[in-house]
Structure formats: C-alpha cells, structure tokens
Amino acid sequence: MKVEVIGVTGLPIIEEGDDLAGLIVESANSQGDPLRDGDIVVISHVIVSRAEGRTVDLSTVEPSQVAERFAAFTGKDPRLVETILRDSRAVRRMAPGVLITETRQGFVCANAGVDKSNVPGEDIVALLPEDPDESAKRFRARVRELTGREVAAIVCDTHGRGHRDGEVNVAVGASGMEVIRDRRGEHDLFGYELKVKRTAVADEIAAAAELVIGQADEGIPVAIIRGYPYDMSETSSALELVRPREKDLFL
Amino acid sequence: MKVEVIGVTGLPIIEEGDDLAGLIVESANSQGDPLRDGDIVVISHVIVSRAEGRTVDLSTVEPSQVAERFAAFTGKDPRLVETILRDSRAVRRMAPGVLITETRQGFVCANAGVDKSNVPGEDIVALLPEDPDESAKRFRARVRELTGREVAAIVCDTHGRGHRDGEVNVAVGASGMEVIRDRRGEHDLFGYELKVKRTAVADEIAAAAELVIGQADEGIPVAIIRGYPYDMSETSSALELVRPREKDLFL
C-alpha cells in the first residue's frame, strides 16, 4: 500500500477574488499531476483567507483598552491582539508570548489562527477563513465543475500542542471525507476488539501534507494526497476534531 | 516535490528476540521496495516492544492498593492500572475512563503507552520500549550492517490530544534525524522573518505513516517515508518533542 504526498508548485501570489480552485487545477496540470478521483487536496489556510479577502491591515486597527492590557502582558503588538480578540469567542490561556483563544469558528489555538507569515505587506495579517468547511466544500464543487473529478478537500493550519513541543499541521476545514475514522468495534490482528481507537485522519493527512507544504523556500501552499482510501462524507466538519469544552482534558 | 508513504507488508508476528530490522529489510525487498539512503523507517512501538520482550502477562500481576483505588475510579482493570503505574513516574490526569501519566521515559500519554491491541494472548499487554531512541538507533545500525543503507528511524505510538478529538500517531523514539525543524530566522515568500516556526517534523512523519499503518485489517506495522529531505542528526531524541513540565501550557 502506497500513499503519495505531492506538492503543488507554480501558484501565483493569491489575491482577493482569485479563483483558487482554478489556479490549483491549472498548476497541478502544468506539473503533470492532474487531479484524480479520490485525491485529497490540502490547502494552507493563508491562501484561502487571501482569496476570500480575510486579511486585516494592522495599520487600520485601533486597539481597545483590553487589547492594550493583554498586549502588555503577552508582549504582542496591541493591534494584533485586538485583531485576535475580534476573531475569538473566549480566551483560554495567556502568558508572556502566549495567547490561546477559542476562535469564532470554535477552534482552540494560538492567536486565533491569525497569521503573519506568507502574507504580503508590512502590516497585513491573514485571519482564518470565515467558515473553512464551506471554503473546502466550495473548492470541491469548483474542481468538479472544472474537471469532473470528485476530490476531498482539507484547509490546514499549523497549531502548537499543550504537552508536546513544536507545531504540527492540522485540519481547520474539511469536506468530502470523514475527519475521524472510528475503529471501535473493528478487530485487530489477533481478534481483539478495538475499544478506544478513533483516529483523527484529517489531522494526520494535514500533517502528511506539511512534509511538502513545509518547504517555505519553495513556496508550496498546496498538497495532493493520493492513494489514501478515506470514507466519503458530505456532512463532515473539521469542528468534529475539536474536543467539546466539557470534555477538554486540559482546560 | 513528492513524498511517498509505503506500507511494509508480509511481516510475521513478531516475537521476543526476533531480528526486527532483518525482517523489515526482507519484507521491503520482497515487495519490491528495498530501503534506500535517506528513507525514514517508521515502526509501530508494539512490534519493537514485542521483539524486546517488553510485554506483561496481566494474569501474573498483583495490583497494589493504590492501583485498586485508581482502577475503581477510572473503571479500568486493576492489573492494567498496576502495570501502567509501574511504568510511570507521575500521574498527570485521572477521570472515569482516563488515566494520563508521565512515563518512565518522560512522555505524557494515556495509560503510559501500555497497549492491548495487536498483542497476541488474552491478557498480554505491550509496554513502551525501555528506551525507544535506542531502539531506533539499534535498528539503523542493523540496517546499515545488512544493506549498507543510511536511513533514519522513528518508533511511533498513537496519542490522544488535550484539545482535539481523536488520536494521532506521534514519535516516541527517533534516530538519525532532527525531530524538530527550527525555522526561526528563515524568511517566508515575502521576506518576512519567521519568528515562532518550530515544526515537529518527526510527529508529522509518524502521522503520515499512519495513513498506511492505520489499516489494521492488512496488519501493516511499518512504513517507509521516501523523498523527505530531513536534517540528519546522530544526537536527536524523541524526548525533544515533549514540552518540559515547567513550560507545559496545560498541566
């Protein structure tokens, strides 16, 4: 069994209003890797946000008093903190250098997913897409329209972890596939019934994608995962990957 | 840029004393995917533990009073709890169905990594390898001896996450490669200096591996990651992926 992780190269700098699916289809064709049925397309959230106009020019942001105070405590830019708070519905953890919030969409992550890198312009930051699941769904529909191919799509972002060091890529939007593979009730090699095995496959796919997306110098914001037999779904959401607050083990 | 994730099939049931590297080299050859320089071999910890004799027959375990009490509270088998506590140096979190400890090696995970599935025998459980970094290092040396190839090796286990639902595969042992890619000081596409980017590449590689390892019905406990340009290292350790306790954000 073999799974391929293919970096999509040659995309232009994405701007508001761009036909992201069209550009990705074109780049994949140009490099000789046209999309196939069953492919999973993993897209860095920054280019989705740029195409959707979800960027903020910090020079236009007036920080509130709360933002000023949090900024002093965390050592962050007050205009950035204001932008983070506007995109959050709760602050989960704060420390010098650390501001972990619950985003409007429901994700728990540093800086509400607001991202400076790979956004052009001195003071421009990218927010998370308004509804990353919908972004993924629209992407799939456009791919279908352009190519007739049936793919799954994941919008990804890099997140830190509570207990483990370093960041990993995770899914913040998903469409076309189950994000968790529930293996409870399946049996292992020795006939033992798996009791607790629920695999976060969409996060593992996002992590695999960063093996090619992570090459910043080459500017690869998109990966194609080919050969992974996912469970199709038209109703899944990346928010299924977020532990409900009442079950969060480390509030 | 393309990375391949290749499942290694046809391995026998691993038993104590088996030459794991020899068996993996043989299987990879048989299926037409002989190891190459620069490959990363990802090995499920359960077969490493089996080869090293790190299994426990629960029927021989006499639970202590503490284990009995923790078992009653968590709803787990007292003999299993005793085994978990013997392999732990601290209990981090306990709740019905939940026992998160700090293992002897220093990992923070459910049940100290003690694993029931894919171990033959009614009451047999697999512990984590005594020193998974050393296991990975020995594996590489034996591969070098048998084939002359220079590979990196990762021993993996599936861990739950505090804030996110479902489990993902992570690295608990590593040798031959840097486990974190520190990109601070590098520049993004627009010349912006990356300030916080430290990518847990060994965990992303373990996650990618589970795209083929996760197929329990096919019994694939090993994956080869081919085409990923890692930074070589002879001194790295998977313990670098564990946040030091004083920096743990969610104690």
pLDDT tens for A197-212 read 789 999 999 999 999 9
CA distance B8 to B220: 6
Same structural domain, A44 and A107: no
Tell me, what's the pLDDT at A251? 44
Q: Is beta strand A40-44 parallel, antiparallel or unpaired with respect to A152-159?
A: parallel
Whether the pLDDT of residue A244 is over 80: the answer is: no
Cβ-based neighbours of B237, under 8 Å, separated by 6 or more? B133, B174, B179
Whether the pLDDT of residue B133 is over 70: the answer is: yes
In a domain, A115, yes or no: yes
In a domain, A251, yes or no: no
Whether B163 sits inside 8 A of A210 (CB atoms) is no
Same structural domain, A137 and A106: no
Cβ proximity of A127 and A116 under 8 Å: no
Same structural domain, A201 and A138: yes
E-only strand ranges, B145-217 = 152-159, 168-177, 181-182, 198-199
Tell me, what's the pLDDT at B47? 93
Cβ proximity of A179 and A153 under 8 Å: no
In a domain, B250, yes or no: no
Whether A100 sits inside 8 A of B9 (CB atoms) is no
Domain limits for position A86: 56-124
Same structural domain, A17 and A43: yes
Tell me, what's the pLDDT at B24? 98
**At A6, phi and psi to the nearest 5?**
-115, 120
| The total number of residues written for chain A in this structure | 251
In a domain, A198, yes or no: yes
In a domain, A249, yes or no: no
Cβ proximity of B174 and B237 under 8 Å: yes
Task: Identify the band that residue A216 occupies on the pLDDT scale cut at 50, 70 and 90.
Answer: low
Tell me, what's the pLDDT at A121? 74
Tell me the shortest Cα–Cα distance from A23 to chain B, in angstroms. 18
Tell me, what's the pLDDT at A56? 95
Direct distance between the N- and C-terminal alpha carbons of chain A, in angstroms, rounded to an integer: 39
CA distance A139 to A146: 11
Same structural domain, A118 and A176: no
Whether the pLDDT of residue A196 is over 90: the answer is: no
CATH of the domain at A43: 3.30.1330.100
Cβ-based neighbours of B38, under 8 Å, separated by 6 or more? B150, B151, B226, B229, B230
- Nearest beta carbon to residue B188 from set A117, A212, A242: A117
E-only strand ranges, chain A = 2-8, 40-44, 55-57, 88-95, 98-103, 108-110, 124-126, 152-159, 168-177, 181-182, 198-199, 222-226, 232-233
Closest Cα partner for B5 from B161, B209, B249, B185? B209
Cβ proximity of A109 and A169 under 8 Å: no
In chain B, what percentage of residues exceed pLDDT 90?
76
Closest Cα partner for A154 from A20, A45, A230, A33? A45
Sheet holding B2-8, edge to edge: A232-233, A168-177, A152-159, A40-44, A222-226, A2-8, B2-8, B222-226, B40-44, B152-159, B168-177, B232-233
CA distance B211 to B223: 9
Whether the pLDDT of residue A116 is over 50: the answer is: yes
Paired tokens of B6? 């290749």
Whether the pLDDT of residue A250 is over 80: the answer is: no
What average pLDDT does the structure give for chain B?
91
Whether the pLDDT of residue A18 is over 90: the answer is: yes
Compute the average pLDDT of residues B8-35. Answer: 96
Task: Identify the band that residue A69 occupies on the pLDDT scale cut at 50, 70 and 90.
Answer: very high
Same structural domain, B134 and B221: yes
Tell me the shortest Cα–Cα distance from B142 to chain A, in angstroms. 25
Task: Identify the band that residue A194 occupies on the pLDDT scale cut at 50, 70 and 90.
Answer: low
Final residue of a domain: which of A96, A124, A152?
Answer: A124
Q: Is beta strand B152-159 parallel, antiparallel or unpaired with respect to B124-126?
A: unpaired
Whether the pLDDT of residue B105 is over 80: the answer is: yes
| Three-class DSSP category at B156 | strand
Radius of gyration from C-alpha coordinates of chain B: 19
Final residue of a domain: which of B104, B124, B144?
Answer: B124
Task: Identify the band that residue A29 occupies on the pLDDT scale cut at 50, 70 and 90.
Answer: very high
Compute the average pLDDT of residues B8-27. Answer: 95
Same structural domain, B16 and B140: yes
Final residue of a domain: which of A124, A141, A171?
Answer: A124
Whether B165 sits inside 8 A of A199 (CB atoms) is no
Return the H-helix or E-strand segment holding B186. none
Same structural domain, B47 and B64: no
Whether the pLDDT of residue B171 is over 90: the answer is: yes
CATH of the domain at B118: 3.90.1660.10
- Nearest beta carbon to residue B3 from set A162, A164, A212: A212
What average pLDDT does the structure give for chain A?
91
Task: Identify the band that residue B192 occupies on the pLDDT scale cut at 50, 70 and 90.
Answer: low
Higher pLDDT pick, A133 / B185 = A133
Same structural domain, B134 and B173: yes
In a domain, A38, yes or no: yes
Tell me the shortest Cα–Cα distance from B50 to chain A, in angstroms. 14
Whether the pLDDT of residue B215 is over 70: the answer is: no
In a domain, A250, yes or no: no
Same structural domain, B77 and B188: no
Same structural domain, A167 and A63: no
In a domain, A234, yes or no: yes
Same structural domain, B197 and B114: no
Higher pLDDT pick, A40 / A189 = A40
Tell me, what's the pLDDT at A243? 84
- Nearest beta carbon to residue A165 from set B9, B188, B243: B243
Cβ proximity of B199 and B180 under 8 Å: yes
How many domains, chain B? 2
Burial A210-227, CB ≥16 within 10 A → b, else e: bbbbbebeebbbbbbbbb
Whether the pLDDT of residue A217 is over 60: the answer is: no
Compute the average pLDDT of residues A155-165. Answer: 89
CA angle B112, B74, B160 (to 5 degrees): 45
In chain A, what percentage of residues exceed pLDDT 70?
90
Compute the average pLDDT of residues A175-202. Answer: 80
How many helices (DSSP H) and strands (DSSP E) are in chain B? 6, 13
Task: Identify the band that residue A191 occupies on the pLDDT scale cut at 50, 70 and 90.
Answer: low
Higher pLDDT pick, A216 / B95 = B95
Tell me, what's the pLDDT at B65? 97
Tell me, what's the pLDDT at B115? 87
